Amino acid sequence: MKTHNVMTIGSVALGTAILTVLAFWSPSLEAGRDGDALAAKIANPKLVSNGIEMTVVAAGTGIFSRGDEPVFELRAVNTGKVATTVAVTMAMTATSPADKFSRVPVMPSRLWFQENSFTLKPHETKVIAFATHTQLPANKTIAVSLEETGAGDELREPGVQPANSFRETARRSSQPVALPSRIVALNFSTVTSSRDPAVALKD
C-alpha cells in the first residue's frame, strides 16, 4: 500500500475518533452544569405553605460536635396579600453509620422535636429560634426536618386565613385530604477523626 494512501486512511480514522469523543463529551459537560444547578437548588430546601416560604439555618457558626446543643432558626416570609397562620413541627433525628456487611437498613431515632404556630401579615418576615436543649450524640448522622402540621380551628383568628386547616377541609370535602408537606432542611454529622474535631453543616 502506498504511503499516501496510508496517511489518508490514518487522517480519516483520527478525524472520526475526534468527532466521536466530542459527541459523547458535550452532553456530559451540559449534564454537569445541570447537576450543579440541581445541587444548588437542593442545597437550600424551602417549605412553602399557602404563600408562606420557610427555610431553616443553624444559629451561630453552624459547626457542631458531640455534646453540643444546637439552635436552629426558622425564617418565614409571607409572600401573599393576606395575613396567614401556619403551624409547623421541627424535628432532629440521628442515624448510625451503615454497616457495610449488614443488609438491614439503618433506621433513624428521634432526638428532639418542637411544634410552633405563628401568624404573618402580608409580606411580613419572621425569624423564630428553635433551641433543642439536646446534646448531640457522637458518631451519628443528624437530620433536621420541617413539616407543616394541621392548623385547626383553635388557631383561627379574626381576619386571618389558616394555612392548613385539615380538619375543616376533611369535614367539607368527600375527597382525600392532602398530607402535610415535609422537607429535610439540614444534614450534618458528628462522626469525627483525630484531625477533625467538629463537622460543619452540609447545606
pLDDT at 173: 52
Sequence ranges of the domains in the chain: 1-43, 47-200
pTM exceeding the 0.85 threshold for the entire prediction: no
Superfamily of domain 47-200: Immunoglobulins (2.60.40.10)
Give the C-alpha separation, 138 to 125, whole Å.
35
Give the C-alpha separation, 93 to 74, whole Å.
17
Tell me which residue of 180, 183, 107 sits closest to 141, measured CA to CA: 107
- Assign residue 180 a region: left if phi > 0, alpha if psi is -120 to 50, beta otherwise? beta
Q: How confident is the model at residue 97 (pLDDT cuts 50, 70, 90)?
A: confident
Average pLDDT over residues 24-43: 42
Tell me which residue of 41, 53, 72 sits closest to 148, measured CA to CA: 53
Q: Are strands 161-162 and 84-95 parallel, antiparallel or unpaired?
A: parallel
pLDDT at 107: 87
Quick one: DSSP state of residue 135? Answer: P
Residues 65-76 pLDDT 10s: 999 999 999 999
